[in-house]
């Protein structure tokens, strides 16, 4: 059994702190909560009072969906593989051999940087990422994890004797 070097998942708390969508969700919940208490304190309760509980429910639903989605997906990094665990009721496990990873891209906004988050996009020759890159969103310590993956990828390639060869197709044009 390969040794697990790192185990992580997307962070719901980080998403709340480190994204505009998270900030909007917090705002919905706070406005809904405060507005609901304020609307209930009014006598008589206005016909518009339903707006605040609706905002609270919408914010709570968004937060619950994000939390369950993050809870349902986790990642394990070993010497040889990145292992993806997905699902709550129906589980699936997918693996990407590290030596097959072609590129690791790190994206983060200013807000993400303040919260210590990043989005890691992985492109490989594996079927998992052939159609589109694997995107790991809202990852704590994304820079350090990307660097750790890069070092493990190089070590896995050396162990297997794999060398990267990029084939670039250039249009040579029409003969004169």
pLDDT digits 0-9 by tens, 47-56:
888 899 999 9
Q: Which pLDDT value is given to residue 173?
A: 57
> Of how many residues is the chain composed?
176
Domain ranges, ordered by start, for the chain: 12-68, 79-160
pTM of the model: 0.83
Is the Cβ–Cβ distance between 117 and 11 less than 8 Å? yes
- Give the other-Cβ count within 10 Å of 77's Cβ: 19
Give 67-107 pLDDT, tens digit per residue.
999 999 999 999 999 999 999 899 999 999 999 999 999 99
For tokens 């249009």, name the residue: 171
Is the Cβ–Cβ distance between 95 and 81 less than 8 Å? yes
- 3-state secondary structure at position 135: strand
């Amino acid at each position: 059994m390969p040794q697990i070097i790192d185990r992580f998942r997307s962070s719901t708390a980080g998403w709340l702190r480190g994204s505009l969508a998270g900030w909007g969700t917090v705002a919905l919940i706070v406005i809904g909560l405060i507005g609901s208490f304020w609307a209930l304190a009014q006598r008589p309760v206005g016909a518009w009072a339903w707006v605040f509980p609706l905002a609270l429910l919408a914010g709570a639903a968004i937060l619950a969906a994000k939390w369950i989605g993050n809870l349902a997906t986790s990642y394990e990094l070993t010497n040889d593989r990145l292992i993806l665990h997905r699902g709550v009721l129906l589980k699936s496990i997918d693996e990407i051999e590290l030596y097959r990873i072609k590129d690791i891209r790190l994206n983060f906004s200013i807000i993400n940087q303040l919260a210590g988050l990043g989005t890691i996009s992985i492109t490989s020759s594996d079927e998992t990422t052939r159609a589109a890159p694997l995107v790991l969103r809202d990852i704590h310590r994304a820079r350090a994890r990307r660097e750790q993956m890069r070092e493990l990828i190089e070590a896995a390639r050396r162990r297997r004797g794999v060398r990267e060869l990029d084939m670039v197709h250039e249009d040579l044009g029409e003969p004169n």
